[in-house]
Amino acid sequence: MVRNNKRKTDRKGITISAAQKALSYIKSGKSIRKAAEAFKIPFESLWRAIKKKEGQISKNVYPKTCSSRQIFNDSEELMLVDYLLVTSHIGFPVNCRTLRSMAYQQALRNEKSFPTSWTEHELAGKDWVAGFLKRHHSVSIRTPEATSMARATAFNKTNVKVFYSKLQDLYARNNLTPDRIFNLDETGLTTSQKPQKVIAESVTKQVAQLVSHECGQTVTMYGFVNAIGNALPPCMVFPQKNFKNYMIHGAPPGTLGIAYPSGWMTAATFLECLKHFVRFVHCSKDNIVLLLLDNHESHVSLEAIDFCRENGIVLLSFPPHCTHKLQTLDKTVFGPFKRLYHRAANDWMYNNPGKRMSIYDVAGLVRKAYPKSFTSSNIVSGFHCTGISPFDFRRIFFSVIRQRST
């Protein structure tokens, strides 16, 4: 198959005026070939136009004058598609080179006729892969997400069923409405931005872009969202011993700033975040809220649990290594937020040439990215696609069954 075909002749198609003149000429008793020669029209184009007019062939069907040869028949290609889908579902997707090797081996084993270039490299051609993907839209070239063995094995029917049964029990016991269902999670914000795609000289093999640091400092940010699409002001943990108010200069209004030497979340800093959460939610024992979170060690301290009991916060943790499938913020919010954050950091580097980004610039970058990513539509779709609100256990459970069965 040739993807970029180059015309080798100057033969052109048929125009409407030329076709009308040729048809009149044919009606006078001349043959189609004579009319084609008289008006310098390709014979096959004139023949096709006449047959269309007479209704003998469909308007969308043309005689194949030049077509690429398909190595495998339709049933054989469908079997290959099914194999590719199965391997992608179980976490071992096939790359293009492996697919080309498989196609060559299959063609060789079944004694298919294929181009000689396949034998030279013992691989199917890139043109064959392009044609294969064009014929089968259920598969395409994707960039996979690195998934550890722990995540792959922990996301199973047993863990998912236990989590959703507890969630359903809490809904019924506390009569929870969507405005009282919250999710919180943390993400790291670095002072070394991720470069964006740029326009540069096409013949240059490597294009360089300046970043602030090779390994920048990290500021931890906590996000809070609820099932009706609201987002609370974030909490930011700076890698400093003492907190100063200028650290959150330019941050979203209401942001809580905390300092800890490592910049990571600990039991003490998490307790401060819970107090920040209560100030905005106004929960109590008479107004209980549900807080969904992962089972990080900083979230399960005795002080945090006692504080939640006193203030009407019911904690429910996700199963270990399952947050990539079950957590709202991971599914639909943090991805757009990180992209917008790095875009804002990239703009900062352009507007401040010769300067290095510090942790005191992170708050201003968060203010640019936060309102555009923590939107109501992103948050609501996250709760919906995970089946948390509205409650839909089948949405995730059946996807696990399909994944394991394949």
Q: Which of 316, 335, 333 is nearest to 388 (CA)?
A: 316
Higher pLDDT, 26 or 119: 119
What confidence tier does 10 reach under pLDDT thresholds 50, 70, 90? low
Instruction: Please tell me the CATH superfamily of domain 151-198+214-405, with its number.
Output: Ribonuclease H-like superfamily/Ribonuclease H (3.30.420.10)
Whether 165 shows a pLDDT value over 60: the answer reads yes
Query: Looking at residues 270-274, what average pLDDT do you find?
Result: 95
Average pLDDT over the chain, rounded to whole? 87
Global confidence as pTM: 0.72
Whether 194 shows a pLDDT value over 60: the answer reads yes
Taking CB atoms within 8 Å and a gap of at least 24, the contacts of 260-265 are 263/217, 263/218, 263/219, 263/220, 263/237, 263/238, 263/239, 264/220, 264/237, 265/186, 265/220, 265/222, 265/237, 265/296, 265/298
Question: H or E segment at 289?
Answer: strand 289-293
Compute the distance between CA of residue 321 and CA of residue 316 in angstroms, rounded to an integer.
Answer: 15
Compute the distance between CA of residue 158 and CA of residue 116 in angstroms, rounded to an integer.
Answer: 52
Question: H or E segment at 258?
Answer: strand 256-259
The angle formed by the CA atoms of residues 291, 293 and 295, to the nearest 5 degrees, is 135
Q: What pLDDT is recorded for position 41? A: 82
Query: Looking at residues 125-137, what average pLDDT do you find?
Result: 92
Whether 12 shows a pLDDT value over 50: the answer reads yes
Do residues 154 and 319 touch, judged by C-beta distance below 8 A? yes
The residue to which tokens 């900083």 are assigned: 298
- Burial code (b: 16+ CB inside 10 Å, e: under 16) for 318-328 equals bbebbbebbbb
Compute the distance between CA of residue 242 and CA of residue 232 in angstroms, rounded to an integer.
Answer: 24
Q: Where do you find CATH 3.30.420.10 in the chain?
A: 151-198+214-405
Compute the distance between CA of residue 332 and CA of residue 377 in angstroms, rounded to an integer.
Answer: 9
Q: Is 81 exposed, middle or buried (0-12, 13-18, 19+ CB in 10 A)?
A: middle
Structure token digits, residue 195 = 């470069």
* Residue 389, phi then psi, degrees to nearest 5: -150, 120
Compute the distance between CA of residue 217 and CA of residue 102 in angstroms, rounded to an integer.
Answer: 45
Q: What pLDDT is recorded for position 214? A: 79
What confidence tier does 398 reach under pLDDT thresholds 50, 70, 90? low
The pLDDT tens digits of the residues spanning 24-70 come to: 888 888 888 888 888 888 888 888 777 777 665 444 444 444 344 68
Q: Which of 135-149, 331-345, 381-395 has the highest mean pLDDT?
A: 331-345
Whether 274 shows a pLDDT value over 80: the answer reads yes
Task: Work out the number of other CB atoms within 10 angstroms of the CB of residue 371.
Answer: 12
Q: Is 141 exposed, middle or buried (0-12, 13-18, 19+ CB in 10 A)?
A: exposed
Q: What pLDDT is recorded for position 58? A: 45
Structure token digits, residue 98 = 């492996």
Compute the distance between CA of residue 352 and CA of residue 358 in angstroms, rounded to an integer.
Answer: 12
The pLDDT tens digits of the residues spanning 319-343 come to: 988 888 899 999 999 999 999 999 9
Q: What pLDDT is recorded for position 65? A: 42
The fraction of the chain above a pLDDT of 70, given in percent, is 89
Q: What pLDDT is recorded for position 60? A: 44
Do residues 194 and 171 touch, judged by C-beta distance below 8 A? no
Query: Looking at residues 379-389, what average pLDDT do you find?
Result: 94
Higher pLDDT, 56 or 303: 303
Do residues 209 and 185 touch, judged by C-beta distance below 8 A? no
Q: What pLDDT is recorded for position 57? A: 46
Q: What pLDDT is recorded for position 400? A: 63
Q: Tell me the H-state helices in 70-191.
A: 74-89, 96-109, 116-121, 126-135, 149-154, 157-174
Do residues 136 and 77 touch, judged by C-beta distance below 8 A? yes
- List for the chain the helix, strand, coil content (%; round to 5): 50, 10, 40
